[in-house]
A = this chain, B = another copy of it.
Amino acid sequence: MLRSMTRAACIIIGDEILSGKIRDTNIHLIIDLLREGGVTLCRIVTLGDDPADIAEEIARCSARYDYVFTSGGLGPTHDDRTIEGIARGFDRPVVHHPELERLVRGYWGTRVNEAALKMAEVPEGATLLESADNLFPVVLFRNVFILPGVPQLFAAKLQRVRQEISGTHGTLRSIYLSSDETSIAAALAQIEREIAGIKIGSYPRIGDPDCRVQVTVEGPVSDDVHHAVQRLLEVIPRDYILRVE
């Protein structure tokens, strides 16, 4: 990874994803959001509904990365344990946030019960970001954005998160080759060592009639990336090169 960039981690929470009952799609939205925002995603962890596992992972990620995003485990039922896990990870109590409690009571009215009020819980010290869907705010605790797992709600909240994050946009270029990876491996390693701050990737494309390997060059400084592409075009045999993008 390009260590100079703003860095993030995501934690996807829910037994139903690990068991295959539900296929997570939220991660693709956040991958796209971070790439567009110039933030480097360094780690994705999918965990079950176990507060001890959540606590351990959230503490590690919050300390190591600029931003952490969680998805899932925020509802009213006994298997929604993300708030408890995050609070435990930072050794803080779970409390009712007065503004969330006001919203929950306003929404449920006389039907409000203990389960509904569970949705007003936050780790003590959490702040609220007014929500894009005008219904329920995004909960932010330190550098952790706490998002719901239901895809429609996750997507709505992410619109609000977009305004809060900022990173450095990088440049990405690709070279498509007719050779296999072994023939160009030494050249890729050499150029990556030669030009500081760039990252070269190599991806075989099995069954693609147009190309055998896609080589990518990326980095935070556009001139460095273009320079690396030039150097690669010098050292890779010309008849291997199909096209450059």
Q: Which residues of A contact B (CB under 8 A)?
A: 1, 15-16, 18-23, 28, 31-32, 35, 40-48, 50, 53, 75-80, 108, 111, 113-116, 118, 150, 152-153, 172, 181-186, 188-189, 192, 199-204, 206-207, 216, 218
Contacts and interface: CB of A to CB of B under 8 A. Distances in A.
Nearest first, the 4 A-B pairs at minimum CB distance are A115-B185, A78-B189, A44-B46, A77-B202
6 contacts: A18-B43, A22-B203, A42-B47, A43-B46, A75-B204, A108-B182
B182 A115 contact: yes
Given A20-B32, A186-B115, A216-B21, A15 B201 contact: yes
A201 to B, nearest CB: 6
A42 B31 contact: no
* Majority-rule SS of A interface residues: mixed
B35 A19 contact: yes
Contact of A79 (B35, B79, B202): B202
A201 B21 contact: yes
A188 B44 contact: no
Q: Most chain-B CB neighbours within 10 Å: which of A19, A28, A184, A218?
A: A19
B53 A48 contact: no
Contacts of A20: 28, 31-32, 35
Given A42-B48, A216-B21, A182 B15 contact: no
A202 B75 contact: yes
A194 to B, nearest CB: 12
